[in-house]
Copies of this chain bind each other. A is one copy, B any other.
């Protein structure tokens, strides 16, 4: 689905008529309220809309670090698993190998990661963070953690935890 993100429709509030102090019923000023109730009863629809909303916040807050969601995921996975291979990264994040190549190349060229020869497998290469990458990942992780409560401001901490647990049950196993 498409999300206009930053460019939001202003949805003109349309000022109340002259003398009317309190307009009891908006009559039918602009739009007949669309019926979206069935779509909103579907898990897929809700999951997609929610994911896009959260990712939209993520993109804004992570822009200063120059990290998009997948780049942050890769960097964080390497941070927590030094020496991880590209294949393992692909499996863990559900990325196809050809699509990871460009991401790894970019992170390498930015000096955030270093590729070392794998100790036992000559075909593979272990991925590690550079000192710079370590600093950036640390800051980005703090931001990602803080961003949570921003993106889910309508939820209590307990609801947020419950939501994440339920989401994991959907895609794990």
List residues of A whose CB falls within 8 A of some B CB: 1-4, 9, 31, 34-55, 57-58, 69-70, 73, 76-77, 80-81, 84, 88, 91-96, 99, 141, 144-145, 147-148, 151-152, 154-155, 159-160, 162-164, 166-173
Contacts and interface: CB of A to CB of B under 8 A. Distances in A.
How many of these chains are in the complex?
Answer: 2
A52 B171 contact: yes
A33 B44 CA distance: 30
A93 B171 contact: no
A54 B163 CA distance: 16
Nearest to A44: B54
Contact of A80 (B2, B35, B96, B99): B35
Q: Is the interface of A mostly helix, strand, loop or mixed?
A: helix
A163 B154 contact: no
Contact of A50 (B36, B53, B167): B167
A99 to B, nearest CB: 5
11 contacts: A1-B70, A34-B81, A35-B80, A39-B77, A43-B164, A44-B55, A48-B54, A51-B51, A154-B172, A154-B173, A163-B166
A44 B40 contact: no
B155 A170 contact: yes
Nearest to A144: B42
Given A34-B84, A38-B76, A53-B170, 18 more contacts: A1-B70, A1-B73, A1-B93, A2-B95, A4-B94, A34-B77, A37-B80, A43-B163, A44-B54, A44-B55, A44-B69, A45-B73, A47-B51, A48-B51, A50-B171, A154-B173, A162-B162, A162-B166
Contacts of A1: 69-70, 73, 93-95
